[in-house]
C-alpha cells in the first residue's frame, strides 16, 4: 500500500489550524460542509430520477409490448401468422409472444366521446391477462370470459373511463372509423 504521508500532511495542515490561523479553520469547515451538501443534493437528485425512470418504465412497458411486429404494407395484414408467435417465443429472452389487433377507435360514453386505441388479444393470452390484472382498479379479469346482452367484454383505462363517464358493467359504444366498406365508401 502506498504511503499517505503527503495527503495526511495536507489534510492536517488545513483541518487543524494554529490559534493565529483560526480563519483558515473556519473557511475549511464551511468548504467541507458546502461540498458535503452538494454531494448530498446530487445523490438525492439521482436517486429520485432513477426511481422515477424505473416506475415509468415498469408502468409503460408493463402495459404495452416491448417489440411489435407489423405488416410491411398497411392494411394487408399477415398471411399465415398463426406459427409466428410460437417462433418468436423460442427466441432468447422472450417472455411472451402474443398476436394482437390494434385499431384507432372512438369510445362513446354517457358524458362524451374520446379517441383511443383498441387492442384485441386472444383468450389464450394467459401472460397478458396476468399482466393486466396487476393494473386493474375495478372489476375482475375473470369476467372477460362473460358476455353481457350479447356484447363482448372490454377493459378501459381509468382516465378514459373517467373522461367519458363509463362505469363498471356499462355498455360501451366503440366506433371504428373504417369499419364497413359500402358502395358509398367506408362507413364507421
Give the model confidence (pLDDT) of 56-103 as tens digits: 777 766 666 777 777 777 666 777 788 888 888 899 988 888 888 878
161 pLDDT above the threshold of 90 = no
State the CB neighbour count (10 A cutoff) for residue 132: 16
pLDDT at position 179 is 65
pLDDT at position 40 is 96
Q: Which residue has the higher pLDDT, 179 or 125?
A: 125
Q: If pLDDT is split at 50, 70 and 90, which confidence band does 115 have?
A: confident
| Residue given cell 358476455 in the structure block | 147
Q: Which residue has the higher pLDDT, 170 or 65?
A: 170
Q: Where are the beta strands (DSSP E) in 134-179?
A: 173-175
Taking residues 97-116, report their average pLDDT: 84
Task: Report which secondary-structure segment, H or E, holds 116.
Answer: strand 113-120
pLDDT at position 24 is 66
First-to-last alpha carbon distance for the chain, in angstroms, is: 79
- Please tell me the distance from the alpha carbon of residue 71 to that of residue 75, in angstroms, as a whole number: 8
Share of the chain above pLDDT 70, in %: 85
pLDDT at position 125 is 75
pLDDT at position 43 is 94
Query: What pTM, to 2 d.p., does this model score?
Result: 0.55
- Please tell me the distance from the alpha carbon of residue 130 to that of residue 158, in angstroms, as a whole number: 18
pLDDT at position 84 is 85
HSE (side-chain half, CA atoms, 13 Å) at 138: 13
State the CB neighbour count (10 A cutoff) for residue 174: 14
Write out pLDDT tens, residues 5-53. Answer: 888 887 777 677 666 666 667 777 888 899 999 999 999 999 998 888 8
For residues 1-22, one letter each, b for 16 or more C-beta atoms within 10 angstroms of the residue's C-beta and e for the rest, the string is eeeeeeeeeeeeeeeeeeeeee
- Please tell me the distance from the alpha carbon of residue 33 to that of residue 40, in angstroms, as a whole number: 10
pLDDT at position 75 is 66
Amino acid at each position: 500500500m502506498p504511503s499517505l504521508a503527503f495527503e495526511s500532511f495536507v489534510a492536517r495542515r488545513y483541518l487543524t489550524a494554529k490559534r493565529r490561523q483560526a480563519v483558515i479553520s473556519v473557511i475549511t469547515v464551511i468548504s467541507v460542509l458546502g461540498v458535503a451538501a452538494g454531494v448530498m443534493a446530487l445523490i438525492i437528485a439521482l436517486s429520485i430520477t432513477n426511481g422515477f425512470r424505473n416506475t415509468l418504465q415498469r408502468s409503460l412497458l408493463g402495459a404495452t409490448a416491448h417489440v411489435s411486429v407489423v405488416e410491411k404494407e398497411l392494411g394487408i395484414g399477415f398471411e399465415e401468422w398463426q406459427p409466428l408467435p410460437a417462433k418468436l417465443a423460442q427466441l432468447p429472452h422472450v417472455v411472451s409472444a402474443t398476436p394482437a389487433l390494434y385499431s384507432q377507435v372512438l369510445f362513446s360514453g354517457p358524458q362524451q366521446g374520446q379517441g383511443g386505441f383498441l387492442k384485441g388479444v386472444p383468450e389464450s393470452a394467459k401472460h397478458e391477462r396476468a399482466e393486466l390484472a396487476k393494473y386493474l382498479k375495478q372489476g375482475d379479469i375473470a369476467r372477460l370470459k362473460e358476455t353481457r346482452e350479447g356484447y363482448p367484454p372490454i377493459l378501459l383505462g381509468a382516465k378514459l373511463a373517467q373522461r367519458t363517464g363509463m362505469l363498471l358493467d356499462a355498455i360501451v359504444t366503440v366506433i371504428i372509423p373504417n369499419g364497413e366498406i359500402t358502395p358509398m365508401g367506408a362507413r364507421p
